[in-house]
Amino acid sequence: MTDQVTAFKLALGNYPTGVTVVTTCHDTQPIGLTVNSFASVSIDPLLILWSLDKKSQLHSYFTAAPTFAVNILASDQEHLCTLFASKVPDRFAQAKWSMSSFDLPILHDTAAILQCKTYQQVDAGDHTIFIGQVLDITNSPKEPLLYHRRHIGEIPKSFYR
């Protein structure tokens, strides 16, 4: 690995992010994966983004999907983060989920869910950036799950002063 790549990974690994599981359907089968490259883009219209490595086995399914859901994991859902980051073939068999009114697989008990239609896909090096227009939002009072320096957990209580 080059010095620049190592420095890049170190710098961005020091930036705490939330943890999401992005889901959609391929044919009628639910698919999903853990994503921490998630951000808001626009208020008018409501737009969000996330990115996916082009080498991902699910890349072609997401590029063909007209809709997707961003499930923002709650602090007690580390097991879902690990499950959807794994190579387990049927991840949904080990998760509590249901189909939404938008025909999207959504996970239960999350901090929030954003159901989106694909607004734009941007070629960005070895990744594709997916921009979604938010169609529906579900919020809960749960705290989010965080990722920082290769560790997963909740917001430290000392953060709230």
What per-residue confidence (pLDDT) applies to 161?
A: 60
Q: Cβ contacts of residue 149 below 8 Å, gap of 6+?
A: 13, 14
What per-residue confidence (pLDDT) applies to 159?
A: 62
Task: For residue 139, name the pLDDT band (cuts at 50, 70, 90).
Answer: very high
Element (H, E) at 148: strand 145-148
| Domain boundary assignment for the chain | 20-149
Q: What percent of the chain has pLDDT over 70?
A: 95
Arithmetic mean of pLDDT over the chain:
92
- The model's pTM is 0.92
| Chain segment 59-118, per-residue pLDDT in tens | 999 999 999 999 999 999 999 999 999 999 899 999 999 999 999 999 999 999 999 999
Element (H, E) at 70: strand 67-72
Own/partner pairs for 120-126, CB < 8 Å, 24+ apart? 121/63, 124/51, 126/53, 126/54, 126/55
Distance in angstroms (rounded) separating the CA atoms of residues 71 and 22 = 6
CATH of domain 20-149: 2.30.110.10
